[in-house]
């Protein structure tokens, strides 16, 4: 429904119920993107409000060339970028894995924890660790990873939101995934050692 032209028309007409549906459908993904990229709940809330206020105000400019969700993500991402630039935070992590000439990080950890059942892995401590691992990525890798692997956008949608080529999205996604694999592997080894004590 949210990409149906009739639904977009309702948004254009200022239909409050349609606006509420749009918010219900997309707010978690927008908030999550903003939170993961800014690292600050207050900034994420500002971005969330700004995104929908701006979207509903300028919905007449939405031409339907992309999906509504992609358009909303673009507004949110631009709002995040403005905040990051204002802060001028140095986001390149010092402990990112060593990269080879082509920019693919070299694996350093070869512990096999792939057989661990997911239910046993996804506890509160693991959630925190997974969040910290994403936060340690550089902004360029983090934005691609969150859109693709957390929010579930396609490669094409991610490229549209970030203004990148699909090849660049794929390359950054692989680097992000390999970096996160290293962090998760190190954590799993520590967790297994602790369980043995």
Partner 1 sequence: MNKDECQHLLSQLGDYVDGEASRAMCEEIERHLADCENCRVVVDTLRKTVMLYHTRGPDPVPGDVEERLYKALDLKDLG
Tell me which stretch binds partner 1 (CB under 8 A): 58-66, 67-75, 81-89, 180-188. 180-188
Q: Cβ closer to partner 1: 122 or 192? A: 122
Dihedral, CA of residue 87, residue 129, residue 31 and residue 179, to nearest 10: 70
CA quadruple 92, 97, 98, 101: dihedral sign: negative
**Interaction residues for partner 1, span 52-71 (CB under 8 A):** 52-53, 56
Q: Which stretch binds partner 1 (CB under 8 A): 65-73, 87-95, 157-165, 175-183?
A: 175-183
The pairs formed by 105-110 with CB atoms below 8 angstroms and a separation of 24 or more are 105/175, 105/178, 105/179, 105/182, 107/178, 107/181, 107/182, 108/182, 109/181, 109/182, 109/185, 109/186, 109/189, 110/185
Q: Is 153 in the site for partner 1 (CB under 8 A)?
A: no
Site residues (vs partner 1, CB under 8 A): 16-17, 19-20, 23, 27-29, 31-33, 35, 41, 45, 48-49, 52-53, 56, 100, 102, 104, 106-107, 110-114, 116, 118, 121-122, 126-127, 130, 145, 149-152, 170-171, 173-174, 177-178, 180-181, 184-185
């Amino acid at each position: 429904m949210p990409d149906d032209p009739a639904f977009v028309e309702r948004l254009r007409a200022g239909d409050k119920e349609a606006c509420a549906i749009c918010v219900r459908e997309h707010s978690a993904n927008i908030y999550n993107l903003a939170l993961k990229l800014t690292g600050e709940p207050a900034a994420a809330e500002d971005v969330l409000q700004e995104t929908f206020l701006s979207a509903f105000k300028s919905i007449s400019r939405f031409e339907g060339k992309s999906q509504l969700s992609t358009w909303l993500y673009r507004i949110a991402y631009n709002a995040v970028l403005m905040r990051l630039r204002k802060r001028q935070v140095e986001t390149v992590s010092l402990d990112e894995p060593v990269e080879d000439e082509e920019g693919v990080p070299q694996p350093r950890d070869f512990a096999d924890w792939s057989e661990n059942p997911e239910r046993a892995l996804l506890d509160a401590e693991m959630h925190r660790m997974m969040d910290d691992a994403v936060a340690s990525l550089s902004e360029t890798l983090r934005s691609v990873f969150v859109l693709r692997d957390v929010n579930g956008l396609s490669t094409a949608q991610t490229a549209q939101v970030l203004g990148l080529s699909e090849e660049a999205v794929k390359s950054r996604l692989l680097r992000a995934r390999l970096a996160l694999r290293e962090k998760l592997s190190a954590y799993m080894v520590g967790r297994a050692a602790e369980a043995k004590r």
